[in-house]
Amino acid sequence: MQNLASVLNLLAGAPTLFGVLLASGTIFLTSDWRLSLTALLVQYVCIGLLLTRSIQGEIAILKALTGVLAVLILYITVRRVQEERGFLPEQAEFPAAVRWGVADPHGSLGLVLRLLASVLVVLALVQGFKSVHFPRVPAHFVFAALWMGGFGGLGLVLSGDPLRVATAILTILAGFDLLYAPLEPSLALVGLWSAMTLGAALAFSYLIVVDSGSGSRSAPGEEGD
Amino acid sequence: MTPLPGAALLVGLPLLAAGVTYLVRRFSFVAALLSMGTTGMLALLCLYLPLDRSAYVLGREIAFGRPVVVAGRMLALTAAGQTWLAFVFILSTVLYLCAWRISPGRSFFPFSLAMLSLYALTVLVPTFSWAVLLLTISAALMVLILQAGQAGSIRGAQRYLVIALLAVPFLLAAAWFRDQTAFYPENEDLVRCALLAAGVGFGLWLASFPFSTWIPAMTAEAPPVVAAFALTVGQTMVLFVGLSFWRDLPSASEASVLSVIRLAGLVMGCAGGVMAAVQHDVGRLMGYAALSDLGYLLMALGLGGSQGATLALLHGVNRAVALTLFAAALSIVRQRAATDQFSKLHGVGRRLPIATVGLMLGGMALAGFPGTAGFPTHWAISRATWNWVQVLSPFAQAGGSGEGLATGQEWMWWFTGFALAASSAGIIIGMLRGLSAMMGSAPAQDKRRQPIAASLIVLALVALTITLGLYPQWFLEPVQKAAQILF
């Protein structure tokens, strides 16, 4: 048990923080739903690891597990929708993760524009971080939360596709949880927060299913709106 | 035998009924009857059972005010919560009656009952953060009934969910800042941060300008009865949580805060009215009219104190009646004409006269037209707001009565006048455009005859709307009581 604690302690440092930043950036930049959901999964696990230094280990694990479940709900939904519609990824002209064009055939922003928007967010974040101060919360948590909020907000503004919106809003909420969990350690609140996260994932998966039946041509997560 | 605690009844009964109605959801009559029975009974319990002692109901002892301890916190029903829940349950009963004849989707009865259970829990919990999270969970459930399984655009339901979730960080942050003020009472920044975060959070939830895009998107796509449920029952709960937060926050009643609320209400009223005038379908028109009317509610709250709260709550009751009437009539039109676009409604007015009258009267009540339920409170709120800006008028300043005021604020006087006029006139113009389309000279032959039971429900709501317009004092006493308890 002590070994596990020391491993967790070792992991919950700079590598995990870097993992969170990379994951939220990937969620926004990629057009491939598999990569996007994998990044969301990594993000939740990293947040759980980061939180082990600020809150009880069991609660941090519970938070990570909730996130993993939410990702699982979304994954199963998109997988089923694709199977029902007979969509094969191999049919795509280019791999979905690296669409370079300004706009793909379904109207989403291409990688170039998404990269430019990301640069703007990072610049604003670096500038704004100096003036933000949260008592009792480590500075690197604040930076990660603002990073996630920035990329989540950008994802929310630039897309109407339910899967993209779901990953963006879950990123924002996870970022806020990084700030809020050390401040409010109440067990009941942790339970309600988890219920809300799972409820949101279920509601979005329902919207993904309904949207797929509305005749939009694109695969879920690859813009149809 | 131990008396049954009221908290268990309020939370457990709707949840139990939700399970049963889910099983019988294919039989709309049974599901509606069960739902109406449950909410009707709970409304009666809320109206008549005392909180300070136990009482016998059908041979069973019930201690309605007895607290229950859950997760170390005490869940107890307060007098304000009791009145609030009574209103929510009565409103739900009326909406279930409408839903019986005009189906808003099979999932409406079970999921809305589950939501009512969460609403009751929201009223019972002592902590603001719990209430916020419970309301957000209920918003996730709301998505299921807003979409109602319809393939097509998901814009309305998705925007509703996104807005509900986006507000959570702001509201939880507001709660944390507010709690910190108890430890650092001299730190004014904490109060400012709490107010700012709460303003954004509740602005999102109440669809305050510029976060209002979800209301018209929702009313355009969701079944009208479900939209009315979200706009009346749902927003009533948001208002309850908001007022509870406001009451406990120091400096929340400062003149500057109240002015911001009033200004936000004016902008909402104006934007809703202007947009309502240029719509091309009745669903969106309903959304913008509801938005404009919500602006009046904020203006009333901006008056401050128990007087402002009384006016706001009374307006909330009248608004609920008007929206229910509008939704019931729109449901009939959508069901019979299969559309609500003005361009395709030619002749509907002649084939569905009762629904058309209901639609017009509901819209007029939302605009505050004389003789309808909306008029008394619209008039009172408009007068109070107009008096508030009188000192800023160019005439008052020229006459010397505006001395001491900051110069350059005359625009507020002009804007208030324009906003108050536009909020009502815009809705009326929109409704007249709709009426003109519905009374068009080319009656469509494929429209079916008006449904008898649904039309009777609309007629009853029409009668209530007119009666409330003539006798606005009907609900004044319970509303005053609720406002006094809240403040």
Banded model confidence at residue A224, pLDDT cuts 50, 70, 90: very low
Banded model confidence at residue A31, pLDDT cuts 50, 70, 90: confident
Instruction: Say yes or no: A146 contacts chain B, CB-CB below 8 A.
Output: no
Burial class (CB in 10 A: 0-12, 13-18, 19+), B406: exposed
Of B133, B158, B176, the CB nearest to A193: B133
Mean pLDDT value of segment A106-122: 77
CA-nearest of B302, B309, B231 to B272 is B231
How far A213 CA sits from the closest chain B CA (Å)? 6
- State the pLDDT at residue A101: 43
Q: Reply yes or no on whether the pLDDT at A219 is more than 80.
A: no
Between B135 and A187, name the one with better pLDDT. B135
CA-nearest of B154, B152, B163 to B234 is B163
Q: Which chain A residues touch B159 with a CB distance below 8 Å? A: none
Q: Where are the domains of chain B?
A: 256-487
Rounded to the nearest integer, the mean pLDDT of chain A is 82
Spatial separation of the C-alpha atoms in residues A57 and A8, rounded to whole Å: 9
pLDDT along chain B (487 residues), means of 10: 86 96 91 95 92 84 86 85 92 92 85 96 92 96 87 86 95 91 81 89 88 88 93 93 83 76 91 93 93 93 85 92 94 86 85 92 94 93 88 65 56 87 94 90 61 90 93 85 77
CA angle in degrees (0–180, nearest 5) for A168-A174-A175: 90
Evaluate whether A12 touches A98 at the Cβ level (below 8 Å): no
Spatial separation of the C-alpha atoms in residues A62 and B427, rounded to whole Å: 50
List residues bridging with B68 in a β-sheet: B75
Q: What is the pLDDT of residues A61-108, one digit of tens each?
A: 999 999 999 999 999 999 998 888 775 544 444 445 545 444 444 445
Of B71, B130, B143, the CB nearest to A203: B143
How far A85 CA sits from the closest chain B CA (Å)? 15
Q: Provide the 10 A C-beta neighbour count for residue A21.
A: 18
Instruction: Say yes or no: A193 contacts chain B, CB-CB below 8 A.
Output: yes
Burial class (CB in 10 A: 0-12, 13-18, 19+), B157: buried
Q: Please list the helix, strand and coil fractions of chain B in percent, rounded to the nearest 5, in that order.
A: 75, 5, 20
- State the pLDDT at residue A165: 94
- State the pLDDT at residue B341: 86
* Residue A158 three-state SS: helix
**B interface toward A at CB cutoff 8 Å?**
70-73, 129-130, 133-134, 136-137, 140-141, 143-144, 147, 149-155, 157-158, 161-162, 165-166, 168-169, 172-173, 176
Instruction: Say yes or no: A180 contacts chain B, CB-CB below 8 A.
Output: yes
- State the pLDDT at residue B446: 55
Q: Which chain A residues touch B72 with a CB distance below 8 Å? A: 188
Spatial separation of the C-alpha atoms in residues B178 and A133, rounded to whole Å: 17
Banded model confidence at residue A111, pLDDT cuts 50, 70, 90: confident
CA-nearest of A116, A124, A107, A100 to A164 is A107
